[in-house]
Chains A and B, each alone.
Chain A
Amino acid sequence: TQLLEQSPQFLSIQEGENLTVYCNSSSVFSSLQWYRQEPGEGPVLLVTVVTGGEVKKLKRLTFQFGDARKDSSLHITAAQPGDTGLYLCGTSYGKLTFGQGTILTVHP
């Protein structure tokens, strides 16, 4: 059983479109992280959310932590080809484990 359920697994969109990636669980977390990984490289931390209801913004990326701290979302506004990559949510439930990941492809 996956601790973190991430959806969708694949997303292919045109440049300029908006998108949302979801990360859900039945467990409550003290914190949750979002990472982005490009092919052949290690994941890079984008943000950590720790407070229920918290919203963090990173340029065109908006991250939200659910009020109950069981879920999170990543919203990208006006996606660009440079946003292409694998997006992972993860949580240190003792050790850092990840959801299944979302492969995002943004076409020019």
Chain B
Amino acid sequence: GAVVSQHPSRVICKSGTSVKIECRSLDFQATTMFWYRQFPKQSLMLMATSNEGSKATYEQGVEKDKFLINHASLTLSTLTVTSAHPEDSSFYICSARAQGLDYEQYFGPGTRLTVT
């Protein structure tokens, strides 16, 4: 149990276009989902926390208009990178926390975004 999927696993897009990444909890309901960004050989940096049905809470320094997060259901959250630039190229990882559990989080396999 506790499987989180991400789609796509890899995406290449041109500068100026937008890209949507999906995060799904496959066998549990996730009241809270988190989005992280990771650069090579570095730790995960929390970008934002999304709760189902409400607006996401962004970490300091993360542009909310650039990284649009939607958590429309208990099993799906999406991250849209708008007007992507090469510096947005990174590994994006989501995680989901099951209802009622404060510390157990399950991670997706990540999405490699390359902006050319």
Contact = CB atoms under 8 A, between A and B. Distances in A.
Interface residues of B, number: 23
Contacts, number: 57
Interface size class, chain A: 20 to 34
The B contact surface, by secondary structure, is strand
A103 interface: yes
Interface stretch (A41-49, A52-60, A64-72, A74-82): A41-49
A98 B43 contact: yes
A90 B108 CA distance: 16
The secondary-structure label for the interface of chain A is strand
Contact of A42 (B41, B42, B46, B108): B108
A41 B43 contact: no
Interface of A: 6, 30-31, 33, 35, 40-45, 48, 86, 88, 91-92, 95-101, 103
